[in-house]
Structure 1
Amino acid sequence: MRPPAAFRSATGTGPRFVLLMVLVTLSGVPLFGITFTALTMDYESGSGAMDCMFAAGFDPAAGDGENALRAMRRPELLRKCLDEQPQSYAGLVATAAMLAVAAAVYWYQPKLHGLRRRSAPVETVDADGSLAAELALLRTHAGLGPELSFRVDLARTTSSAYVEGRSGRYSVHLHAGLLVRRGTDPEGFRAVVLHELAHVRHRDVDYASASTALWRVFVVTALLPHLGQYGYSLFLLALHTDSPWSPAAPSMVGFVLVALLLVGLVHLARADLLRRREFHADLRAVAWGADPAGWHRPEPRGGVLPSLRRFTAPLRTHPGWEERRTVLADPGRLDRLVPLEMFLTGVSASLLFGAVSVLPFMPRGTALLWTSDGLVTLALCSVLGVQATRAASRVDRIAESGVLAGLWLGFGLLVGQFAVSGRHRVDLVPSNPEYLLVFLLVGTVPLVWWSQTLRLLPGLPGRSRRVALLVCALAAALTLLSGLMWWRLGGERIILGIGDPAGAFAKAYTLTVHGDWGPYASDLSALAEGTFVLSSLHAQPPVSVAAVLLWLAPLVLFLFQGAEAARRSRPEVRRTLAAAVACGLMSLVVVAVVRYAQATPRPADVQERTGAFLIVQIWWLIVTVTVVCMVAGALVAAFSRRHWMLRALVAAQVVQLFLYGGVFLSYAADGCLGPANAVSDTCHWNLRNGLTTAVPVVRLTYNNAVLGAACAALLGAGCARLVRRWRARPELSLAPLPAPAAAGHRRVTALKAGAVLAFCVPAVFAVLVVNSAPKPSDYSDIAARELAGADGDPGSPPGRAGGRTGDDGRKPERGKGTEDPAVQRLQMHSWLHKGGIRRVRKFDAAVTSLYAEIGKVRARGEGKKRVRVEEKDFHKLCVDVRKRTDRTLDYFPVPDKELQREWSAALRRVRTAARECQEATVLPEDESRAARKKREKKFTGSLHEVVRGVSDVTAVFEKITVEAGSTTGHRGRKDD
């Protein structure tokens, strides 16, 4: 009899096996790439990509934060340099070859096993043919064809069996002791055979054989050479302590840790999957008629002490007999989200991001992060989706909440991220490792939300249930993606301690916003740091979709339940909306208090009130909106027993809309608020003022407030649970899931739809505001200029490059230069050959053209008192010199601080002289004789200044080439 299709897919472990094999395969790409790079790299000059990093100021002896700041000085130049490097496909080619070898091992593995083990066909020990007939009957009962053969392993005396083979060719090997057991315990014999046939039915042999072949080939071809390469590198560095790579020796431990973590992960994950498949094979065998009494067997005695057996259990591929009997007694245990599985899945997902993000065909920049995290999210949802749905369908509280499983998933993401970041870090431990705890929220929030929404789906009519399931799945996936993307766009920099790198963002505010920032020093610091945290996700459409669905989907599910389910959920909806409205009214009071506190004292000049004073007010309103929404979500979740996260999100959204209305109305009526007035002293209604203030508040808070409220709800519910347990109050027992009710005529349908629209319309409008393009601003340019530190933009207008300057008018270099001469020589060499020489050559060509024109004028003027000069020709040449000088200035700072100061001063001298030459060669319409003489004098002086400046540039460039250990001449014509 053929089992039903639903039962044939009951294991649910296929996606996890696929994830494991994909992870192993993709991990081979960077491992092969690193190994090939190390074999072909010149340790005195580095590889092409590393040369770009060294040109940007990378120092193996510096910390992560300092190196990140150096890379952020000229991010566009660094990105361009990296893009110009030839893509290496050696890792992909080697990985493809590894897959081919693994496929060959998988295909010929049965033959290799047959040569090593002695087995004979069943017919050789079946004198009367009864054994073959019984085995054929069991094979037919299992729905398997005659391609499955049975053999006897005469060398093994235990009463067990095993399956070998590959797709289409399987063989069940019966131990000799099992044939003896057939005569004494026929039911036990049938149970063992049916168990092995269940393995074939579930395709466990294919998964086990394929994963074993791939892993063994991966270890031999990729992992061991990778570890050997690092061992050899450390040996060379120990012999050559003067190498510039010597300071990076400790960081190589991070690469080794990643490889060792991958070994432990694969072994644990594979063992866990095989144990789970053993449980499913037991259940299938019992369903086919095996006697459960066959599993009442004692634990085998081995070298492991009983007290240590439970600690070594995760390492074994076969569970103990006690575990098997427990699962047979309670098959529902397999539907639960086991902590070990969640942890291993989380680590796999983090390692998968590290493997995917270094593929040579992946896009660059932010697109790379979205693509990589999107693939990680898809993998997690594919692996955990069905299993989480089954777990959420249970009625016990632990399974319904999903908190424990989410925490273990987040912990796995945390461990994997910590290890993966070692591929790009110098420090083994980041400066702020406590921020890694955010992954606990990243993994828990979407899983809890998904678990609670699934409990509301059965109450919907049949036609709407599938649509709601798809929408909720999309919302959970986007929420997980949002959390991962926040980490990529902001968290990774916060963990390095560079949320406001070198004070660049704070400085940009002081330069773009007028007013006296002196009284607001602490506010400015909080503004710069907080804006970085909130702006990571504020204009990302997928995040906005997740923010809307997180509260809108639960609201619709609550309101449009069937008749029976609606009677149960109606009190929850009423209490939630009542609490939300109450909190919303309270939030208006909070807005008024904040307005009053920030308005006293205020500048006397009205113009001053529209600058720094108003920006600080708007910032604290942004903080108020975010904090109040999070507090509202935490309070509602703390006082809710059922669906606490869903109710908290609905309440937080209502409060959020109240807050937006309060901010808009308070500034639209500015001037009528007495001591709380911000700018105006005249009472009048101004919608433009309200919109001007409310838009930045909405833009920075909408996405963040919803996601923050979800995290706060998790914390609030957890604290409330601890308090209730401390007070010994019993937990509320959950009723069984309501049966789907037939959709009948509802008189209140229009009222419910109106309630949804009343909340949905302003929320969608807020989303449009969040994702609308802001007005062009020079804030980002100034922040980049401040971050560049050394020079700023060549074309920056006067007075906009504020801050303390040196004697040459240049900003002092931020950060600390390297003190290792070998590292500095490598940096200087990379600085020259990754763009320095090319820029100097173009600068030299422009100067040579100008010199040639000057030579022509001198030749024409020999023996004459006056000579005619073609202003248009000189104007063009001077413009070209100025542009080439700007281009040369707009490059990575020279690694040596003193040489950078001289280099910058010399180039600025040429640029100033070229600009004066450009201005002096512009013919005015009406020019007096005195003005003409003045212009001629300015023109002659600018040319002399250009010559002197070029001489300084030549001298400094010669010093740079000497420091770099290069033979390149001052015009960059040799040793390039």
Structure 2
Amino acid sequence: MNTHGSPSRVDERALSAGTTVRFVLLVALLVMSSSLMVLHVALALSAYDGFGCSLAAGVAPGIDSAADVIARRGLQWEAYRACSIRYAPPPPWWVLPGWWAVLALLTALVFWALSRWKARRGRAVPLAAVDHDGAVARVVAELAEAAGLRRPPRVVIDVSASSAGAVVFGRTGRATVRLHGGLLALRAVDPLRFRAVLSHEFAHIANGDVTITYLTVALWRVYLGVALPPFLLWCVLMFQRAPNSPVWSSEAPIVTRGLLLTALLTMLVYLARADVLRSREVYADLTAVRRGADPTGWSRLDADDVGTRRRLLRAFLELWRTHPRWEVRRRALTDPAVLFGVYALPLFLTGAAATITHSHTMFALTQYAQLSSWAQHGAALAAAALVAGVVGVALWRAVVFSALIGVPGPSSIRAGLWLGLGMMLGGLAAGQGTINEWLPARPWVFLLLPVIAVAFTSWSTHCARLWVVAWRGRSLRGVMLLSVAAASSALSVWFVWWQTQGVAAGAGWWFDVAGVRDDLVTYLLGTAPDDAPVTWVDTAFVTIMNTTTNVLALPFAIAALIGLWVVPMLAWWSRPGIDPPRWALAALAGDRIRPGPPLPAFRRVLLPGVCGGVLGAAIVVAPVGTWFGVDVDASPTAFVTAELFGMQLAFLVAAAAAAAVARRTVPEHRLAAALIAAGTATLLCFGALLLSRVSDGCIPPFALADGACSSETGVARRLFDLILLPALPFVLLTAGLVGAPRSVSARRAVRPRTIGPARAGVLVLLVGALAVSTVAFVQRAPVAGRVPTPAEVQQASRQAMDAPPDGPVPASTRAMQVEAWFGYGGDDLLDDFSVHRRDLFAAVTAGVEAGATIAELHHVRPHCTEIVAFAEEGVRYFRVPDPSANELWESFLVLAWQAGRECEIALDADQAEDFDAAMQDLVTAQNTGDRVLRASTRGRDRHRLVRVGRKRRATTAAGTPPKPVSTPVPSTDPPRNPNSVGLLAGVPVTARVCAGISAVPAAPGVRAGGGGAAAGPGSDRRS
């Protein structure tokens, strides 16, 4: 602790300043926001028609909620995806890369032009033209050498400028310093100020600020001049055509939100730009003073404003300045606290920028393809790295500074709330959870964002405090990067969950507890579940399973979560010492101040974890399913759910107990101790569960079907997949809540720890953590690159969703829906059937008239196959938005499929009577198809009906079957009954759904998280 009367001078270079990461954040904001504008404009100029596919799917604009839209799309995802690809295709793939190339080229041109403009002959002359005796050149060379520059920069004089200032421009490797004429004249009167101003500009060159500064300016000007105007013009055109749009009630939120988002992004970009430029000015001052400049040479006093209102106004205006006020610069020279503070604006900007960047990255990617787990995690990791790079580094700097000068550290709760507020505003502005609504159906779900932000800042802050005490090396940058990497990895898992399930929950969607439970029980037992009522145990178990399915499919998810307690645990691997660490000596220029008491013995963290593990082991080795009062014979479904949930609950109880004890034994680092103890208890509890079940050879839920025990490998894998992995996120959440510090406790004396036992304990736990992470990665990596097919997404949606009710819809809306259904594929399907049936009848008629028998008509079999294929394609298309017409449509498809299959079977078996019956059934199917057309004519456009009707009559036969086939060839096989070849004989699962027959549930691993999958039914393709 610092016992000095005044704060020690802390070297601002003790840790990375973080300004480069903030510049990366600025670039990401500029690129993402301009790319979004370009994408919207390109969609408007293309044949994009996203609303048509939604109307064909039965979406009622202005009536259906966002959850209903998700369900209507997801339950018909094959048709919706195919419709989007055909009628709402994204712009060509080269549009965004082309825009990035144009953006880079224009930025380079503006960057080059800025240097040429500032150095133009009409405004600046070479130094030699006015420095006849070379005195100024000698001062320039002296100051350049003091600044560490390899050679003096080019110096020009702006003789027309009377101010006593200077500016550096160009690029870092070839910079030019332009001195104002007033400064040159001041050299003889005030040489200290002349040298200070020149040293400040040379410090910019030494710090590498020149290139970044002018790239920032160039990017901003390209954004304002090239990207913004076309988008604003698009918004104007959209509002102009609003009165003529029948779906403006759904378009209005999108266009308005896009305009507001553009304004917000423009403001965020400007504030981020100003923040980057301001911070670099302060660091240039410090660099100049460290190289010998007089701090009084350029700092002036501001006006004396002591009023509260004036101070608040001045603080607000400071946010928009690219150069800090003189008072701020002067204070930074004497008190470095301003450089190590955690301020609200960067936190807010970072939260908003990360959320918007991630949301629109996913939007842009899903325009072109569905995403694999790797792609989803990569996009999330980029956004999380921005947050960790800006906020994590700022928290580390604040913790280091407070530890060195002995003052309280930064408030992680305050920092998290500002970060979470930015994430909330960014998510709402980006339209998360709204689809085509103005606001999410469940706005309270967005309160999870500040909660997770506080968790992120709390972990980062307490991990920094731990490592500041433990690390003895020359620099903290290595352990800081390790901590930032762990935090960004864990945060990326959250971003994936939020984009896939959190956003859908905000839109009003949630999974069906009974459906998910029954699917899982069917997968485990291999038999249909019984009709057990849904209890709180079922709800808790399904919530744990379904909320973790998506994120646990990520290969690195488990490693990222385990890193939250492994990284703090590694602090006990470092060698203890009594003397101040070397990094503290360097930061305080030799001042021997210790940043805090040494770490306590590792056994104070390990023993609570062992005790918690023993408690959990005692629970899991018992038949925990019976504790909920469930009888296995009465309800196998309820028993399976209770048994699995009981095991997961044992893990949570063990973790909570271990965390509660650890936070009391290690109060100085209670959060880290709680996480480590909970992780230890989890590993021990799982080991006990594994030994008890594998050694027994059976686990009750897996032996209910036939009484046989599963193999040891199967038991171990199912315990790993169904118990340990789903419980792990909730274990960490429980430990974090228990270990969260409620107050700052007084530090007490701690005896130096011994390194041998500590490293042994750390090594054992590290091996266990790596084993779990490796197994999870090996299991998931082979399938992480696989993209789910539309059929799999649709099947998962049907397992997790209930169909929204068909409520009353205005006649005009119903007419638009039916018109879209016909226009986006319904007409084509009906015409295809008519053509296939006509060609079949014509071929059969020609054969019969030529005297052919059934054995001589095998050449017509391809026409029968085409009809079967048509029916299978028809069941993959949208259901008719009109309920009465949809009933006829389903009957029509069933009749067509049965008739086509009967035709194939009759030809294969040479059964003339069955073949003739199939032809008659095709006539019945044709008549049913015509009834579909007539049933859907109510309210539709009459001109459209006339055209469709004429088209149909042109391709439709008279409605009678061909003449009966001549006497069939005798066959030894009995005639086949057409009814024996029903839908279940060979029709795909989608046809069963169309026919009203439930599909067989898939394994839980296929589940895509319902309607919230990034590329699934919850993704918003502007409609």
Q: TM-score, normalised by structure 2?
A: 0.76
Q: Is the 8 A contact 1:196 1:281 kept in 2?
A: yes
Partner of 1:777: none
Instruction: Single out whichever of 17-26 and 966-975 deviates more from structure 2.
Output: 966-975
Q: Decide whether the 8 Å contact of 2:604 with 2:666 is kept in 1.
A: no
| 1:70 positional shift | 1.6
1:150-549 map, 5 Å: 150-157=156-163, 159-166=164-171, 170-175=175-180, 177-179=182-184, 181-238=186-243, 240=244, 243-294=246-297, 297-300=300-303, 305-331=310-336, 333-359=338-364, 363-367=369-373, 368-380=375-387, 390-391=397-398, 393-394=400-401, 395=403, 399=409, 404-421=414-431, 425-445=435-455, 448-449=458-459, 452=462, 455-456=466-467, 474-500=485-511, 505=516, 508=519, 514-520=528-534, 523-549=537-563
Q: Distance in 1 between matches of 2:473 and 2:372?
A: 41
Q: CA deviation at 1:255?
A: 0.8
Q: Which has the higher contact order (CA 8 A, sep 6+)?
A: 2
Gaps of 5+ in 1: 42-46, 775-779, 793-802, 804-811, 925-934
Q: Per the alignment, in what secondary structure is the counterpart of residue 157 of structure 2?
A: strand
The answer for the alignment partner of 1:13 in structure 2 is 19
For 1:715, give the aligned amino acid: L
Residue 969 of structure 2: aligned partner? none
Are the counterparts in 2 of residues 817 and 897 from structure 1 also a CA contact under 8 Å?
no
Within the candidate set 646, 649, 654, 2:672 is matched to: 646
Change (3 A) 1:312 1:498: same
Superposed CA deviations along residues 726-773 of structure 1, whole A, max 9, x for unmatched, are xxxx5438999x9xx9xx995997676556556765776677678899
Shift of 1:272: 1.1
- CA distance 1:117–1:592, change in 2 (3 Å): farther
Q: C-alpha displacement at 1:613, in angstroms?
A: 3.1
Residue correspondence of structure 1 range 600-615 to structure 2 within 5 A: 600-602=629-631, 604=633, 608-609=635-636, 611-615=637-641
Q: Which amino acid aligns with 2:675?
A: L
Letter of the 2:57 counterpart: A
Q: Indicate the residue corresponding to 1:79 in structure 2.
A: 81
Which stretch shifts more, 212-221 or 460-469? 460-469
8 A Cα contact 2:126 2:157, kept in partner: yes
- Number of aligned residue pairs: give it: 904
| Helix, strand or coil at the partner of 2:556 | helix
- Matched with 1:800 is none
Cα distance between partner residues in 1 of 2:599 and 2:33: 51
**Alpha-carbon distance in structure 1 between the residues aligned to 2:489 and 2:91:** 32
1:887 aligns with 2:896: no
1:474-522, CA deviations, whole angstroms, 9 ceiling, x for partnerless residues? 5333212212112123222222221216975467568775343243355
Residue 56 in structure 1 maps to residue 50 in structure 2: no
State the 1:317 CA deviation: 1.6
Q: Does 1:581 align with 2:587?
A: no
What are the residue-to-residue correspondences of 1:713-792 with 2, within 5 Å?
713-718=735-740, 720-721=741-742, 724=743, 730-732=745-747, 753=763, 757=767, 784=794, 787=797
Give distance in 2, aligned partners of 1:434 and 1:219.
35
| Contact 1:663–1:694 (CA under 8 A) maintained in structure 2 | no
Give the aligned partner of residue 688 of structure 1.
710
Equivalent of 1:30 in 30, 36, 40: 36
Classify the secondary structure of the residue corresponding to 2:156: strand
Q: 1:952 to 1:164 in 2, by over 3 A?
A: same
Q: Residue 73 of structure 1 contacts residue 784 of structure 1 at CA under 8 Å; is this kept in 2?
A: yes
How far apart in 2 are the matches of 1:971 and 1:638? 81
Identity %: 25
CA distance change for structure 1 residues 39 and 383 in 2, over 3 Å: closer, same or farther? same
Contact 1:636–1:713 (CA under 8 A) maintained in structure 2: no
Of 775, 789, 814, 2:804 maps to 814
- Could you tell me which residue of structure 2 aligns to residue 655 of structure 1? 681
State the Cα distance separating 1:14 from its structure 2 match. 2.5
Superposed displacement of residue 205, structure 1 = 3.6
Q: Is the 8 A contact 1:10 1:280 kept in 2?
A: no
- Is the Cα–Cα contact under 8 Å of residues 674 and 738 in structure 2 kept in the other structure? no
**TM-aligned CA distance change 1:104 to 1:886, over 3 Å:** same
Structure 2: distance between partners of 1:690 and 1:630: 30
Deviation, 1:276, is: 0.6
One-letter code of the match for 1:18? V
Tell me if the contact between 2:115 and 2:169 (Cα under 8 Å) persists in the aligned partners.
yes
Residue 850 of structure 1 aligns with which residue? 840
For residues 502 and 691 of structure 1, what CA distance do their matches in structure 2 show? 29
Q: Whole-Å Cα distance in 1 between the matches of residues 318 and 396 of structure 2?
A: 27
**Is the CA contact (8 Å cut-off) linking 2:613 and 2:680 kept in structure 1?**
yes
Q: Deviations over 1:787-812 (max 9, x none)?
A: 559xx9xxxxxxxxxx9xxxxxxxx9
Q: Deviations over 1:636-669 (max 9, x none)?
A: 4476433333322221123223443565577679
Normalised TM-score (structure 1): 0.79
- Once residues 17 and 326 of structure 2 are traced to their aligned partners in structure 1, the CA distance between those partners, rounded to angstroms, is 19
In the TM superposition, what whole-angstrom CA distance separates every residue of 1:112-131 from its partner, at most 9, and x where no partner exists?
45679955666676686644
Flag the 1:73–1:149 CA change in 2: closer, same or farther, 3 A: same
* Aligned-pair CA distance for 1:578: 1.6
Read off the aligned partner of 2:242 and give its amino acid letter: L
Residue 982 of structure 2 corresponds to which residue in structure 1?
A: none
Which residue identity does 1:655 align to in structure 2? A
- CA 1:397–1:542 in 2, change beyond 3 Å: closer, same or farther? farther
The question of whether the paired residues in 2 share the 8 Å contact of 1:537 and 1:704 is answered with no
Q: Which moved more, 1:182-191 or 1:658-667?
A: 658-667
- Residues 537-572 of structure 1: CA distance to partner in whole angstroms, max 9, x if unpaired? 223221122234333444454256457699987744
SS in 2 for 1:150: strand
Distance, in Å, in 1 between the alignment partners of 2:677 and 2:780 is 21
The 1:877/1:251 distance shift into structure 2, 3 A limit, reads closer
Query: Displacement of 1:280 after TM fit?
Result: 0.5
Change (3 A) 1:649 1:898: same
Contact 2:356 2:430 in 1 (8 A): yes
Q: 1:900 aligns with which of 857, 868, 886?
A: 886
Against the structure 1 CA distance between its residues 198 and 67, is the aligned structure 2 distance closer, same or farther, given a 3 Å change threshold? same
The residue that corresponds to 1:102 in the other structure is 107
Q: What CA deviation, in whole Å up to 9, does each residue of 1:231-258 have, x standing for no partner?
A: 33123214x3x62334421342211121
Displacement of 1:194 after TM fit? 1.6
> Aligned partners of 1:634, 1:397: CA distance in 2, in Å?
28
Residue identity matched to 2:873 = R
Q: Is the 8 A contact 1:227 1:256 kept in 2?
A: yes
Q: Do 1:538 and 1:700's aligned partners in 2 also have CA atoms closer than 8 Å?
A: no
Tell which deviates more after alignment, 179-188 or 115-124: 115-124
Choose which of 941, 954, 960 in structure 1 pairs with 2:930.
954
Q: Is the 8 A contact 1:632 1:651 kept in 2?
A: yes
CA contact (8 A) 2:197 2:298 kept: no
**Residues 443-463 of structure 1: per-residue CA shift (max 9 Å, x gap):** 454555455556448857979
**Mapped contact 1:456–1:558 kept (Cα < 8 A):** no
Aligned partners of 2:473 and 2:880: how far apart in 1?
69
More displaced, 379-388 or 900-909?
379-388
After the TM superposition, which of the residue ranges 245-254 and 86-95 deviates more from structure 2? 86-95
Mapped partners of 1:290, 1:423: distance in 2: 55
1:603-642 map, 5 Å:
604=633, 608-609=635-636, 611-626=637-652, 629=655, 632-633=658-659, 636-637=662-663, 640-642=666-668
